[in-house]
Amino acid sequence: MAEQAIRLIAGLGNPGPEYEQTRHNAGFWFVDELARRHGGQFRRESKFAGEVCRILIGGQDLWLLKPQTFMNRSGQSLKLMTSFYKVELGEVLVAHDEIDLPPGTTRLKRGGGHGGHNGLRDIMAQLGKDFWRLRIGVGHPGSKEQVVNYVLGRPSRDEDTLIRQDIDAAADLLDRIVGGDIQKAMNQLHSRA
């Protein structure tokens, strides 16, 4: 049985050129790749406090969102957009960096806690937690005290290659994810080792 189809994919990150290549912007990298592959163009939408792009997947509209509120206010942008387009929480996929997974490991899941991720924390506070997540592994610095500097730093060349390969692999599964065949997409993504 198919899940609900995904209608909105939000990639999390921080706006501005100084953050563009940082690990914390892995969610932006994912939606940028989707827009690139499907001929979409992001445009600034002040009513959603973000950059928005619409693409067509298998005859179905899919909205892409990059909140421009900074990471810890990501929920504000997402709430504005889901309210306007009447998108249910189960139709939302949030792509974000995940320090609890090594580079080269990406996981798809629904619900769960925020794990200290400020973008997820704000989305949960504004909307609840029953949304889908694409957890893009960026690795852990080894100590809790180093996490902020780590996620706001650039990955090494090798790490960057692994992260981009995983983003490509997830992007390859978009038609399944959007069509509601998320379990199959999850199995495929998780079997990459």
Predicted local confidence at residue 41, as pLDDT: 97
Note the pLDDT of residue 1: 39
Q: What is the enclosing helix (H) or strand (E) of 81? A: helix 74-85
| Residue 34 and residue 64 in contact, taking contact as beta carbons nearer than 8 Å | yes
Cα angle 11, 54, 2; round to 5: 75
* In the chain, where the domains are located: 8-190
Residues 57, 62: Cα–Cα separation, whole Å: 7
The pLDDT score that the predictor gives to residue 179 is: 81
Homologous superfamily of domain range 8-190:
Peptidyl-tRNA hydrolase (3.40.50.1470)
Q: What is the pLDDT of residue 175?
A: 86
What pLDDT is attached to residue 193?
58
Starting at the earlier edge strand, list the strands of the sheet with 8-11.
43-45, 50-57, 60-67, 8-11, 92-98, 132-137, 106-110
Give the separation between CA 65 and CA 11, rounded to whole angstroms. Answer: 6
24 labelled catalytic? yes
Element (H, E) at 121: helix 118-127
Burial of 151 (0-12, 13-18, 19+ CB in 10 A): buried
Query: What is the CB neighbour count within 10 angstroms for residue 192?
Result: 12
Q: Per-residue pLDDT for the chain (193 aa), expressed as one digit of tens each? A: 346 789 999 999 999 999 999 999 999 999 999 999 999 999 999 999 999 999 998 788 999 999 999 999 999 999 999 999 999 999 999 999 999 999 999 999 999 999 889 999 999 999 999 999 999 999 999 999 999 999 999 999 999 999 999 999 999 998 888 887 888 888 888 887 5
Q: What is the pLDDT of residue 182?
A: 82
pLDDT of amino acid 178: 84
Between CA 145 and CA 158 the distance in angstroms is: 24
At 7, is the secondary structure helix, strand, or coil? Answer: coil
The catalytically annotated residue of 24, 96, 114, 140 is 24
Could you tell me which residues come within 8 angstroms of residue 44 by beta carbon, excluding any fewer than 6 positions away? Answer: 50, 51, 68
Written as one letter, the residue type at 160 is: D
